[in-house]
């Protein structure tokens, strides 16, 4: 009788821990299917360690300096790194070199947010897939619509075009990805394998068309990159002509991408064979695992991988944190309430209800 692997078991190529150590970073992934955000870090140059945290339907992930934002089922949660508290984290001291704590929760409703990012002025932008628009998230409304594709004429929660990806250029939203230019609810589904496009936000002009399920546009070193999920391709797009070159083709459904150093970190998802959107895709028979592929960008050569054996089947986003062992607390347990982080001082508080006050220690 075969014993199933423990939760979140994964295999990885021998060089991954050494590479992350040399780059001084950790990988962050979101998996809406498992409802987790996961830090993947090197424990030494030979082994990886994971830190999963519960975030219901974790989707888009933005990291900007100390800040992190996560799009979830009906909330956007903003966290910030309290490095001064990491070393003395009471349940697990002398472990972390960063510690992300909840700082704000925006109740946005079930609008199916995808990519997130901050602009140059500090506004948090979100791809609002259900309402087919780019929105700003703040404490005034559920969301504030800021940009619609030009063919969208009605403000309705019906996912006309499956707007999903966004990348900033010079601190402003610049390019977005979507699955089609339709004006009927979920009208993109019948031609999902061929009608995808990239659009320029300021001009509302189509940059590239006839793409196969584009996701995760990224502006890297002055060039536009994107993932074609249906074919497993990482592409570089010529914004002048709309043509693209394939950087590498991977055996899987690609979604979520980040660059650090000379390397691309690309998310891979295991496809649901019974899902009508996925079962007929060109990559369907090869998309048999979820994980992260590491690509040497100058050569387009895969140099390492992480592959899940249990728990994780579908990834949405991939980002990088320039820390070797970051920690994170969600807002679902009370531990984070004991953390006091200020610009000058950091304290952990220990409740002392019998004396009617709290004791603080650094």
DSSP 100-169: EEEEEEEE--S--EEEEEE-TTS-EEEEETTTTEEEEE-SSSS-EEEE--TT-----SS-SS---EEEEE
Domain that holds residue 105: 25-332
Any domain includes 217:
yes
Residue 297 belongs to a domain with what CATH number?
Answer: 2.120.10.30
Cα–Cα distance between 328 and 86 in angstroms, integer?
A: 9
Is residue 152 scored above 90 in pLDDT? yes
Positive or negative: CA dihedral 321, 327, 332, 334: negative
Cα–Cα distance between 200 and 208 in angstroms, integer?
A: 9
What does each C-alpha distance from 76 to 49, 126, 134, 325 come to in angstroms? 26, 9, 15, 24
Tens digits of residue pLDDT in 249-281: 999 999 999 999 999 999 999 987 666 667 678
- The pTM (predicted TM-score) of the whole model is 0.94
Let me know: does 282 contact 212? Beta carbons within 8 Å.
yes
Any domain includes 226:
yes
Closest among 159, 194, 193 to 276, alpha carbons compared? 193
Any domain includes 344:
no
Any domain includes 185:
yes
The conformational region for residue 65 under phi > 0 = left, psi -120 to 50 = alpha, else beta, is left
DSSP letter at 3 equals P
Please name the helix (run of DSSP H) or strand (run of DSSP E) that holds residue 343, with its range, or none: none
Confidence of residue 2 (pLDDT cuts 50, 70, 90): confident
Torsion angle in degrees (nearest 10) through CA of 117, 300, 206, 157: -40
Any domain includes 307:
yes
Of residues 177 and 288, the one with the higher pLDDT is 177
Is residue 137 scored above 90 in pLDDT? yes
Any domain includes 337:
no
- How confident is the model at residue 352, as a pLDDT? 59
Tens digits of residue pLDDT in 197-240: 999 999 999 999 999 999 999 999 999 999 999 999 999 999 99
Confidence of residue 337 (pLDDT cuts 50, 70, 90): very high
Tens digits of residue pLDDT in 3-27: 888 999 999 999 999 999 999 999 9
Tens digits of residue pLDDT in 348-361: 997 655 544 444 44
- How confident is the model at residue 359, as a pLDDT? 47
Any domain includes 16:
no
Confidence of residue 65 (pLDDT cuts 50, 70, 90): very high
Q: By percentage, how much of the chain surpasses pLDDT 90? A: 88
- How confident is the model at residue 273, as a pLDDT? 62
- How confident is the model at residue 160, as a pLDDT? 97
Whole-number average pLDDT of the chain: 94
How many domains would you assign to the chain?
A: 1
Confidence of residue 83 (pLDDT cuts 50, 70, 90): very high
- How confident is the model at residue 350, as a pLDDT? 79
- How confident is the model at residue 274, as a pLDDT? 62
Any domain includes 347:
no
Cα–Cα distance between 152 and 159 in angstroms, integer?
A: 10
């Amino acid at each position: 009788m075969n014993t199933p692997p423990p939760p979140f078991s994964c295999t990885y190529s021998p060089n991954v821990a050494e590479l992350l150590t040399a780059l001084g970073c950790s990988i962050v992934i979101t998996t809406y299917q498992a409802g987790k955000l996961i830090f993947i870090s090197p424990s030494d140059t030979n082994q990886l360690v994971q830190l999963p945290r519960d975030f219901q339907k974790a989707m888009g992930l933005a990291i900007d300096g100390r800040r992190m934002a996560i799009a979830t089922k009906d909330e956007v949660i903003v966290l910030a790194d309290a490095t001064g508290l990491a070393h003395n984290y009471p349940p697990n001291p002398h472990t972390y070199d960063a510690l992300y704590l909840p700082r704000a929760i925006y109740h946005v409703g079930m609008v199916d947010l995808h990519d997130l990012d901050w602009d140059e002025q500090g506004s948090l932008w979100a791809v609002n897939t259900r309402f087919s628009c780019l929105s700003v998230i703040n404490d005034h409304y559920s969301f504030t619509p800021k940009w619609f594709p030009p063919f969208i004429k009605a403000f309705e929660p019906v996912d006309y075009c499956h707007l999903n990806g966004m990348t900033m250029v010079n601190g402003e939203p610049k390019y977005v990805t979507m699955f089609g230019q339709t004006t009927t609810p979920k009208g993109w589904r019948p031609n999902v394998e061929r009608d995808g496009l990239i659009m320029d936000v300021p001009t509302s002009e189509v940059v590239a068309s006839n793409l196969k399920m584009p996701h995760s546009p990224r502006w890297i070193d002055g060039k536009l990159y994107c993932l074609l999920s249906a074919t497993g391709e990482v592409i570089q797009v010529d914004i002048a002509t709309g043509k693209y070159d394939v950087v590498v083709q991977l055996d899987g459904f690609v979604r979520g991408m980040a660059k650090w150093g000379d390397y691309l970190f690309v998310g891979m998802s295991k496809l649901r064979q019974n899902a009508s959107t996925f079962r007929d895709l060109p990559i369907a028979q090869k998309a048999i695992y979820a994980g992260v592929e590491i690509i040497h960008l100058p050569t387009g050569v895969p140099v390492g991988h992480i592959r899940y054996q249990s728990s994780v089947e579908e990834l949405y986003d991939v980002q990088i944190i320039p820390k070797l062992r970051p920690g994170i607390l969600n807002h679902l347990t009370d531990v984070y309430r004991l953390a006091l982080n200020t610009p000058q001082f950091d304290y952990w508080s220990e409740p002392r209800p019998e004396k009617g006050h709290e004791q603080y220690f650094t």
